[in-house]
Amino acid sequence: MKKFLIATFVLLAMIFASQTINKTEAKAINDKTAHSLLSDKKAADFKLKTLEGKEIKLSDYRGKIVIIDFWATWCPPCRKGIPDLISLQDEFKKEVVVIGISLDQQNTIKDLKPFIENYKINYPVVLGDEKVVKDYGGISAIPTSFIIDQKGNIVDSHIGLVPKTVYVDQIKSLLKKK
């Protein structure tokens, strides 16, 4: 638990520090991270629980495109991106599933249920743990998202807020390959 709290503080520091990076540097960092995680790397399966206690596994969605979004209720860029994720879930509901992995901790976990209801989040939100953070490269900032193809491969990743058009282009590209 102590390590997780330290990781959370480091994560917060990195988020605030990342706001000072200009767009060119941010894109270079994002591209480097994406390339290091890609090359048809199998996405790590996970079994995480919703607030209601229902278990969600990534492998349950094999055959669909999955957008995994690591986020937290207290994160302004995360909040800003959620309406786009809701829209994507509506627009591509037969082919795509968004899974929100909340990294909220003890002091903000109480905000999660009202947040989900207030934003009318229409996709599964699960509680992240140290293992899933580690399995996905040690999430260094949030939001961080991964796009998983229909075969369970990581085909793209993004650190920071992502324009909806980036997701739409990737989804359409993957649907053409199917």
pLDDT in tens, 40-62: 599 999 999 999 999 999 999 99
What was the pLDDT predicted at 39?
A: 46
pLDDT band at 115 (very low <50, low <70, confident <90, very high): very high
Written as six digits, the tokens of 79 are 């909040």
Distances (CA, A) of 51 to 7, 56, 93, 157: 22, 11, 22, 26
pLDDT digits 0-9 by tens, 3-31: 444 444 444 444 443 443 333 334 444 44
CATH fold for domain 2-177: Glutaredoxin (3.40.30)
Average pLDDT on 67-85 reads 97
What percent of the chain stands above pLDDT 90?
Answer: 73
Quote the CA–CA distance of 156 and 170 in Å, as a whole number: 8
Quote the CA–CA distance of 145 and 101 in Å, as a whole number: 10
- Kind of pairing between the strands at 47-49 and 41-42: unpaired
What was the pLDDT predicted at 34?
A: 43
In the chain, domain spans: 2-177
Tell me how far the alpha carbon of residue 43 is from its chain's centroid: 13
Residue 51, φ and ψ in degrees, nearest 5: -60, -25
Quote the CA–CA distance of 20 and 133 in Å, as a whole number: 24
Residue type (1 letter), 90? D
pLDDT digits 0-9 by tens, 148-165: 999 999 999 999 999 999
Q: Where are the beta strands (DSSP E) in the chain?
A: 41-42, 47-49, 55-57, 65-71, 96-102, 125-127, 144-148, 153-159
Segment among 6-10, 67-71, 112-116 with least mean pLDDT: 6-10
Which residues does residue 96 pair with via DSSP β-bridges, in sequence order?
65
